[in-house]
Amino acid sequence: MDPITFSIIRHRLFRVVDEAVITLKHVSGSAITNEGHDLMVSLYRADGSLLMGGVGFLHHLTSAAEACKAIIRRFKGQINEGDVYLLNDPYTAALHTSDIYLVAPIHHEGRLVYDIGAMNPGGFSPDSQDIYTEGISSPGLKLVDRGELRQDVLDTLLNMVRNPEMVTLDIRSMIACNNVAADRMLALIRKYGHPTVDEACATLIEQSETLLRARLAELPDGQWQSRQYMDVKGETAKVCLTMTKKGDTLTFDFTGSSPQSRYALNCTRWASLGGLFAPLFPLLCYDITWNEGVIRPITMIAPEGSIVNCTRPAPVSVATVGAIQSVNNAACATIGKMLAASEKYRKEATTVWHANHFAIFMFGRNQRGGQSIGILTETFAGAGGARTFADGVDVGGEIPNPISRMANVETMESIFPLRYLFRRRLTDSGGPGRYRGGLGMEIAITPHDAPDGGLHYVVSGKGAKYSMSEGLGGGYPGAPNRYVWVHNDETGERNADPSFALSLEDMPGRTEDISWGVFPLMGKDALYVAWNGGGGFGDPLERDPEQVQVDVESRFVTREAARSVYGVVTDAGGIVDLAATKRLRAEMRGARMERRAAE
Amino acid sequence: MSRPIAANLEIRSTGKGDHIACRSCGHALAPAGQPWKRHAILRELSMNGAGGKAYTGAREAILRQFGCPGCGALLDSEMALPGEPFLDDIVRA
C-alpha cells in the first residue's frame, strides 16, 4: 500500500495506545498504576492476534492476545458493539488472578487490581496452596452489555474483594481507557476507511515478521543456556532454559525445569510465553512494531506439570514475581549471550536487569481511619544490567516494563501509616565486572501515626538465597535480595526507638530474616528490604582502577570489595595506588592459573 | 582469521581446523562448535560475600569462574548449586 498512508496509520495506532494509557492513569486512583505504571494497553486484530503492543508490563502482550481469543470463542455470536468482557483466569490466559483483562470488541487491555479476594490481601497470596484460594477467577464474563454496565456482575465482584472502592476505580479506569481507544480507532477508520486501515494492520504484522526474521538471520546459529534458582521456605525450584537459534527462528526450551511447586510461584503456559517475550520485544525488536509478526518465528517448549507450565489447580498468584520473572531473566540472559556472539549486535547485548521483584503488599487501617491495601512501589525500582560498553544504570528500572517507576517516599507515607527511615542505593549490590551492574536499593520503614499501632504486610520474596541477575562474559551476578523484620517488642532493653537509625546495623531490636507470608509491622518494629543489583559484564580485574576509586568515593563499592573483587588497592584517603593495584591484579590472575582444569 | 563468538572468546582458523580460543592470548580451548568450559581452568567460590557485603544470603550457591589456561583471563562465570552441569553455550555458524 501507499507507504505514506501506511506510516500515518502506523503512527496513529501508537498514539491510540498512548491516549488510552493516559486515560487509564487519569481515572485510576492507585499508586501502582499512576506511579508504578503496572498496566498494559494494546490493540488486537479481530481474531485476537496482537496488532500493536503498548508499553507497560510486556508479559501481558501475548497473554492478553490469548484472552481475546478465549472471549471470542466463549461468546461467539453474542459479541456486540459497546460490550466489555472481563477475564482473569490464569489457566485461560491471565498471568495470575489479580491481572484483570478487560476486552472490548475494538481494543483490549489489562492491568493489576489492588485486591482480588484471595487468601492474603493484595492479589499475591503466598499462603495459597491451590487456585481455589487465590480469589475470583473468571474465564470470561460480560461486564458491559451494549454500553451499559452490568451492575449485578460488578457488585458480585466487589462483594468478594477487600477494597471495593479502589477496585471499582480500577475497573472503571479500564472501561474509560477502552472507550477512548475505541473512539480514536473509529475516528481513524472514518478518515481512511476500513479496508485501508485493515490493510495497514495486516501489512504491519507482515512487516514485523519480515524484519525480525531478517535480524535473526544476521545472528549466528547456536544454543545458549541459562538457569535460575528460586527459594521458598527452604525449598529450591529452578527454571532451566536452552535457547536455540537456527536460521530465522528461535526456540526456547524449558526442559529440565522443576516440577510445579506447592507454592504459588508457578506459572501457566501462557504466562511463560509472556515471560520470554517481555525481554525479546525490547532487546530484539526495539525498532520493530511489537505484534503477531514477532511471535511467529518463536517456539516455546514448556513441559506440562512443570513450574513453567503448571496444571490446574496449582497456585499461581505469585507467578509474576516467581516463575514468570525467572523465565524473563533466563530469556534475557540467553538473548544477551546470543547478541554478544555477533560482531554487528555486540553492543546491543546486556546482562540481566532487575531480576527479583519483591511483592510487598501493605494492609491495615490508615492514618485517616480508612483501609489501605497496596504494594510498595519500590519493587519497580530495579537495577540496570551492565552493557558490553558501559555500567548498568543504578536503580535503572527493568526491561519487562520500560516505563515503570517507584512512587515518592511522601506518596507512600501519605497512603500508609508508616515512615521511611532511609531509601538509597545499596553498596556492593551491582554485579562486579569490567562494567559494573547497576545498584539496587535498600529501604527501612516503621509504623507512624497508625491508629491500630501499625499494619501488616504480605511478602512474596524469593531470591534471598540466590542471585538472580546473571552476569555476562565473566561478570558476576548482582547481589541477592534480603528481607529483615526488626523486632522491637516494647519491653526491656530492646525497647529502643529505631526512628533515627541510618542502617540495618544501627537498628535496635532483634533481626529475623523473612521472605514468604504475612507479617506484622507494629509498634517500634521496622522492615528492612534490600534488593538486587544488575549483572556485571567482563572481568572485574579489567575495570578501570580510577572508576573503582569513583565507586568507592561514591559508596557504591566498599574498599574491601574494591580490593578483594576488583584487585584495586586504595590508601586511607581512598586514592588508588596504581603500582600496588598492578601487583595485586597480577597475583590474582596468577592464582587463577593454579586452579585445576574444569574437567 | 578470527571471529568473536562471546565476550572473551573467538573462533580461530588454523591449519588444524577451527578452534574456540581466548581472545586475549589465542590459547585454543576446544574445536569450534563444541562445549569449551571443561577445557578451561575452573575456580569455584562461595556466593556468600562473593561480590561484597551485599552478597550475604547466598550460602549454598557457588560462583564458577572459567579462566584461560594460557593467560588467566576470565572467560565466563555462572552461578550454580554444587553438582549442577555447566551451562553450555555453543555457537555453530
Q: Which residues pair with A225 in a beta bridge?
A: A242
Residues of A in contact with B73 (CB under 8 A): 539, 589
DSSP state of A103: E
How confident is residue A116, by pLDDT bands cut at 50, 70 and 90?
A: low
Residue B60 lies in a domain: yes
Question: What is the model's pLDDT at position A115?
Answer: 58
pLDDT band at A112 (very low <50, low <70, confident <90, very high): very low
Q: Which three cell numbers stand for residue A549?
A: 576509586
Contacting residues of B for A221, CB less than 8 Å apart: 91-93
* Strands of the sheet with A222-232, listed across from one edge: A298-301, A249-253, A235-246, A222-232, B90-91
On chain A, the residues whose CB falls within 8 A of the CB of B87 are: 225-227
Nearest Cα residue in chain B from A514: B57
Domain boundaries, chain A: 3-207, 350-538, 544-593
Answer whether residue B93 is part of any domain: no
Domain enclosing residue B10, as ranges: 2-80
What's the one-letter identity of residue A282? P
Residues of A in contact with B69 (CB under 8 A): 593, 597
User: Does residue B92 fall inside a structural domain?
Assistant: no
Q: Are the C-beta atoms of A371 and A417 separated by less than 8 Å?
A: no
List C-alpha distances in Å: A152 to A74, A99, B25: 20, 21, 73
Cβ–Cβ gap A595/B41 under 8 Å: yes
Confirm whether B20 is domain-assigned: yes
Q: What is the pLDDT, as a whole number, of residue A117?
A: 55
Q: What is the pLDDT at residue A29?
A: 75
Three cell numbers written together for A566: 576488583
Sort out which chain A residues have CB atoms less than 8 A from B4's CB and list them.
Answer: 341, 343, 346
pLDDT in tens, A174-195: 999 999 999 999 999 999 999 9
State the pLDDT at residue A110: 44
Do the Cβ atoms of A595 and B78 come within 8 Å?
no
In a domain, residue B88? The reply is no
CB contacts, 8 Å: B58 with chain A: 465-467, 480
Query: Side-chain half-sphere of A503: how many Cα atoms within 13 Å?
Result: 6
A-B interface: how many C-beta pairs under 8 angstroms?
A: 175
d(CA B30, CA B28): 6
Domain membership flag for residue B87: no
CA A534-A539-A541 angle, 5° bins: 115
By Cβ distance, the residue of A226, A428, A538 closest to B52 is A428
Closest CB to A599 among B38, B75, B88: B38
High-pLDDT (> 90) share of chain A, %: 78
- A163 neighbors A29 (Cβ within 8 angstroms): no
pLDDT band at A491 (very low <50, low <70, confident <90, very high): low
Confidence check: pLDDT of B93 > 70: no
Distance of residue B63 Cα from the nearest chain A Cα, in angstroms: 8
pLDDT single digits (tens) A239-269: 999 999 999 999 999 999 999 999 999 999 9
Q: Is the pLDDT of residue A599 over 50?
A: no
When pLDDT is averaged across residues A549-568 and rounded to a whole number, the result is 96
Give the tens place of pLDDT for each residue, A283-331.
999 999 999 999 999 999 999 999 999 999 999 999 999 999 999 999 9
CA distance A341 to chain B (A): 4
Cβ count near A304 (within 10 Å): 10
Supply the pTM of this predicted model: 0.95
Does A83 have pLDDT greater than 60? yes
Calculate the average pLDDT of chain A. 92
Determine, yes or no, domain membership for B34.
Answer: yes
Q: Answer whether residue B71 is part of any domain.
A: yes
Range of weakest confidence among A97-106, A205-214, A341-350, A516-525: A97-106
Distance CA A420, CA B35 (A): 50
Count of structural domains, chain B: 1
DSSP for residue A25: H
In this complex, which of A480, A561, A597 lies closest to B57 when CB atoms are compared? A480
pLDDT in tens, B14-63: 888 899 999 999 999 999 999 999 999 999 999 999 999 899 876 889 99
The 3-state DSSP class for residue A553 equals helix
Check residue A79 and give left, alpha or beta (phi > 0: left; psi -120 to 50: alpha): beta
